[in-house]
Amino acid sequence: MDIVEQLNGTYFYKGISNLSPYELLFWVFVTNVEKQLGVQDLAAITALLLGDNSIDVPGKPMTATPGTSYASVFFRRWLNIRLKRNILPTLTKKSIQHFKFRMVNNLGVFVGRAVPVVGWVVLAKGVSQVVFFTMVEYNRIVSYEHKI
């Protein structure tokens, strides 16, 4: 087995010996981050980058979020479908600070603004999974007095 508690109160994990409980927690965390990173996280990071307001837009009102994103430009062009009423909830960098939804009637605007939100949700899910699995594995390994 890869994991064995040693007699002097330290731990052995994945070839590393004499680990304190804190060092063991760190290496279990690193292992779980390695397991978690994959296509899902790459897609989330891509969504965040594409949804970043990095394109300058002159003439925008002062109350609007400055700039626009590549995702917004793309979807406004290719999904320029207008609805009769403003029924689609969106968030921008500015409105998310107050968790205030802005209703829109354009499907392209809705999808373009949703791209970074989806990225944050996927990353948050990944981080919470890493933390959960780290705690479960760590507590399975350590003796009772070192459990968290």
What is the predicted pLDDT for the residue at 94?
A: 77
Sequence-distant (6+) residues with CB within 8 A of 12 are: 3, 4, 5, 6, 18, 19
Helix (H) or strand (E) holding 3: none
Beta 102-104 vs 11-13: how paired, if at all? Answer: unpaired
User: Domain count of the chain?
Assistant: 1
Instruction: Residue 98: give the domain boundaries.
Output: 4-146
- Rounded to two decimals, what is the model's pTM? 0.74
Confidence of residue 1 (pLDDT cuts 50, 70, 90): very low
pLDDT at 71: 94
H or E, element range at 104:
strand 102-104
Q: Kindly state the percentage of the chain with pLDDT values over 90.
A: 53
- For range 127-139, the mean pLDDT: 95
